[in-house]
Amino acid sequence: MASTEPYEITVLGATGWTATICAEHIAKTFPTTTRWCIAGRSADKLERLRQSLRAINPDRLEPAIHTIPRLDAKSLDPLVVNTKVLINGIGPYHRYGTPVVESCARNGTHYVDFSTKTAWIADMIRDYHSLAKQSGAIIIPAISGSSSPSDLVA
């Protein structure tokens, strides 16, 4: 089934360390026709990142830039509803991640992050699992390697 979303993937908090690595990976390895977006608070920082991504692979579609002035539904929803998969790089997640998870769960947008805060992850599962299931969103917290040791002993 072909995607009808303007962005196949969005990197939120794209100018942060880990999210920049994700954006660079997308620029290097994803199909050059991938429709994608880098998002965050600073348009200037996002434009500098976009220029560095252009240098990595000048033949690919450039990422769109979307500025998010604050992490609330009014700011997040216009981006989230137009994204198939959102990579959230804005941490600490227990402080800033909840509205992003909620928006994705409500709008049917798939979500991944790099959280290592198991208590927060448990809260997200408790609070948003049913909503995500209803909307068709797949929510995957803690996709980073630092959660692996606890996953292995579980």
Query: Mind listing the pLDDT tens digit for each residue in 32-76?
Result: 999 999 999 999 999 999 999 999 999 999 999 999 999 999 999
- Please, are residues 104 and 26 in contact by the beta-carbon 8 Å criterion? no
* CA atoms of 40 and 32, how far apart (whole Å): 23
Q: What are the helix (H) ranges across 10-72?
A: 17-29, 43-56
Look at residue 97 in the predicted model and tell me its pLDDT: 96
The 10s digit of each residue's pLDDT in 4-23 is: 559 999 999 999 999 999 99
Q: What integer is the mean pLDDT of 105-128?
A: 96
- Please, are residues 20 and 53 in contact by the beta-carbon 8 Å criterion? no
Look at residue 8 in the predicted model and tell me its pLDDT: 97
- Please, are residues 103 and 76 in contact by the beta-carbon 8 Å criterion? yes
* CA atoms of 147 and 42, how far apart (whole Å): 29
Q: Domain ranges in the chain?
A: 21-71, 99-143
Q: Flag the least confident range among 56-70, 94-108, 135-149.
A: 135-149
